[in-house]
């Protein structure tokens, strides 16, 4: 006596098994949209640079997404990577790029940076301000930006550097 499997047989006869991939496509589309949006938003904040690579760093991971990022970097170049002999510090010591969030400024235009930061801090008083400055910059290139931040009323500044090796 033949046993009919209800999964693969109908009254009309056997049917070919098929895979329902509609939910898979839905999820993949959602993931694509997520990455498209996030890569645009984060790309404006995280300009490429070589951050200070500290000896035994006390840096902590920042989990708060509500933040204002100030970027200060020499001309973008992809070849430099942190090295033990500090060779990555042999780069121009003055900034070519200065940005606050998505807004770009002329590198030495700290007055406009101060005004923009002041407006940003007034609108988002709880947002910490991150200073992402390239480790190769001279202190005299970074100090005016620190001054502008202080004059803009920014008190909660966080200096961005690499995390310890075991947390990267």
What DSSP state is assigned to residue 55?
A: S
Tell me the closest approach of the beta carbon of residue 75 to other proteins, in angstroms.
16
Q: Give dist(CA 42, CA 5) in Å, integer.
A: 53
- Torsion angle of alpha carbons 134, 135, 139, 144, nearest 10°? 20
Those residues whose C-beta lies under 8 Å from the C-beta of residue 94, and which sit 6 or more positions away, are 74, 107, 137, 138, 141
Q: Which stretch binds other proteins (CB under 8 A): 2-10, 99-107, 109-117, 147-155?
A: 147-155
Contacts of other proteins in 14-73 (CB under 8 A): 21, 25, 28-29, 31-32, 35-36, 38-39, 42-43, 45-46, 51-62
Tell me the closest approach of the beta carbon of residue 56 to other proteins, in angstroms.
7
Q: Which of 14, 90, 102, 108 binds other proteins (CB under 8 A)?
A: 90
Those residues whose C-beta lies under 8 Å from the C-beta of residue 159, and which sit 6 or more positions away, are 52, 131, 133
Instruction: Report if residue 9 touches other proteins, rule: CB under 8 A.
Output: no
**In contact, 127 and 66? CB cutoff 8 Å:** yes
Tell me the closest approach of the beta carbon of residue 8 to other proteins, in angstroms.
16
Q: Which residue has the tokens 């329902």?
A: 20
Binding site for other proteins (CB under 8 A): 21, 25, 28-29, 31-32, 35-36, 38-39, 42-43, 45-46, 51-62, 86-87, 89-90, 93, 128, 130, 132-143, 146-147, 149-150, 153-164, 167-168
């Amino acid at each position: 006596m033949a046993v009919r499997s209800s999964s693969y047989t109908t009254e009309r006869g056997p049917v070919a098994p098929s895979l329902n991939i509609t939910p898979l496509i839905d999820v993949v589309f959602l993931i694509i949209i997520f990455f498209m949006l996030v890569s645009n938003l984060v790309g404006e904040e995280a300009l490429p640079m070589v951050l200070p690579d500290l000896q035994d760093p006390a840096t902590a991971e920042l989990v708060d997404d509500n933040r204002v990022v100030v970027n200060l970097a020499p001309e973008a170049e992809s070849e430099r990577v942190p090295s033990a002999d500090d060779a990555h510090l042999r780069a121009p010591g003055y900034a070519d790029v200065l940005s606050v969030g998505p807004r770009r400024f002329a590198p030495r235009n700290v007055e406009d940076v101060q005004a923009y930061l002041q407006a940003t801090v007034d609108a988002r008083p709880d947002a910490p301000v991150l200073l992402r400055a390239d480790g190769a910059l001279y202190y005299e290139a970074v100090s005016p930006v620190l001054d502008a931040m202080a004059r803009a009323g920014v008190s909660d500044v966080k200096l961005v550097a690499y995390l310890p090796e075991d947390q990267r």
